[in-house]
Structure 1
């Protein structure tokens, strides 16, 4: 199999680099200065094992590769707000022997939130969900670090519509040889909904900074309570905190130090967008559909989007001010 990493940022480059270390064929898809650096200097990936440089093929568009191969695996790691453009571009790519990628090739959605699988299932016939526990950092164009130990990350895999098959088990075997634990599960979206609860704090971290603070934890807890109420109203099941802890405790330990997560990194890089519409916004959507108030999540979504749209530096807001906005929104009812 050849792995095409659509969105070779922190997470995508880490997965691609680790797979390449085991001899798997990998293509990195990137754009702008990052693509230029990858072509000129290779991918400089630092893990707990040390730093390595991977000289891998780099593409910006399907046309760069010609017809895709029947054994290609598409790994979608762009942020959800960029997913539609990527799905449309790569779904239309022709595959040797006939048909398109959307008709013939497996697509793995390795992103936070739960929206990408729904977007993909509208376009692709073979869609798989990936629940990521893979802290990684985009340091500069062409340079990525993922420092967890003893494993680089944990990736729960399964068919987005439920169940599993031989193809995803073969992909899991490759990932297992590349420094990841990759359990194949029958209910991958339950894992992704559970992960979403933690990702509701991405907006708090992005706007007020990654440093731990009891007030930040308290605001996150309020957002999680709203989410759990919305899940209950919508009949959405999710993996328990106990099962999540059992799956990852002692396996993906991060070194000491404060690091910004994916939304914080997006603001720091000045990308102009964050995932808040598909994290906190997912809770807002469920709340509106099922009659559950979600004022805290709507404030977090709105604040993070303002930061991205106005190119504000991450961490420029105090947790006191952000909490006050949430209090005000709750008070309005």
Structure 2
């Protein structure tokens, strides 16, 4: 089984690095300076246990390798970049017959709950992955993950529901690689739970680390709206006790000499990508609110401001909490 990780950023790169270090067959897919740095000197992977320089095979696109029936595609790009990645990889021929979109499994290691639905329009075999893996893309060719002893915990299942032998095999490989692999029959139940947790991402990206009482209260308000829309839509999710139980295996430690980066939205603003995933986090709550007549003023504002920051290239943490609250009120 060969893992082709499409999007070797913080999460995808960490998954690929851990699997490769454990002796699994891995190919990273990266672009631009990140691709060039990995191709020239390998991927530098920093964790609390030390630094590894891993010479993982890397390609810029599907024209640089031949797909086989034993390949597993891992989609690690942000959800807003899913369509472009799926359109690139879907029609690629598989050695022996067929194409990637009809013959190969696709695992969506992404935040939010829309990635799997987007993927299922194009790929016949889609798997959901709930990602708990705190990591940072530091620079081209360099990634840090702060989980220890496990790098992260991934909950994996068929989309929209169910499990199979491939889920078990992937989870076994993850465990061997130092990543907790949790098979589940109801992966979207866990992804909606993670969605609620990710509603603090925009607050952090807009106002800086969530440390003050006002910032914490704002995150609580965003999550309260999330709970309200899930209830109105009749969408099941894991409760606080279940979520806490799943997180018991995820312990983080500082990497000596390496300041910890912010969340995924913070990192996108820091790199000046021009786009953030807020539309698929806070924006998912807004969408459900509009569909089910539930007001979501906090998440609507978070989504609008985060998107504006990305378009204008505003640095993360450039707005105070009182300024953000004024926009909501």
Tell me the TM-score normalized by structure 2: 0.97
Which range moves more in the overlay, 46-55 or 100-109? 46-55
CA separation in 2, counterparts of 1:111 and 1:216?
25
- For residues 52 and 276 of structure 2, the distance between their equivalents in structure 1, rounded to whole angstroms, comes to 29
2:318 is matched with: 316
Instruction: Say yes or no: does 1:234 pair with 2:229.
Output: no
Q: Which residue of 2 aligns with 1:37?
A: 37
Question: How far is 1:229 from its partner?
Answer: 1.0
What is residue 200 of structure 1 aligned with on the other side?
199
Q: Using the TM superposition, give the Cα deviation of residue 178 of structure 1 relative to its aligned residue in structure 2, in angstroms.
A: 0.3
Deviations 1:160-199 (A, max 9, x none): 1101000111111101100011110111100000010010
Deviation at 1:121, TM superposition (A): 0.8
User: 1:148 maps to what in 2?
Assistant: 147
CA contact under 8 A between 1:210 and 1:258: conserved in structure 2?
no
Name the SS of the counterpart of 2:4 in structure 1.
strand
Aligned to 1:163: 162
Query: Which ranges of structure 1 fall in alignment gaps of 5 or more residues?
Result: 328-333
CA-to-partner distance for each residue in 1:119-159, whole Å, 9 max, x for gaps?
01111111000001100011100000002112110000001
Work out whether residues 205 and 315 of structure 1, in 8 Å CA contact, stay in contact via their aligned partners in 2.
yes
Q: Is the 8 A contact 1:133 1:154 kept in 2?
A: yes
Separation in structure 1 between the aligned mates of residue 327 and residue 61 of structure 2, nearest angstrom: 42
Which whole-Å deviations, capped at 9, do the CAs of 1:56-91 have from their partners, x for residues lacking one? Answer: 1111111111x3011000000100000000011111
Show CA shifts across 1:215-238 (max 9, x none): 111111111111111111111010
Which residue of the partner structure matches residue 7 of structure 1?
7
Further displaced range: 53-62 or 107-116? 53-62
Distance 2:138 2:62 in 1: 26
- Is residue 299 from structure 1 mapped to residue 301 from structure 2 by the alignment? yes
Name the residue aligned to 1:120: 119
Q: Please, what TM-score do these two structures have when normalized by structure 1?
A: 0.96
SS of the residue corresponding to residue 182 of structure 1 reads strand
Counterpart CA distance in 2 for 1:314 and 1:5 is 28
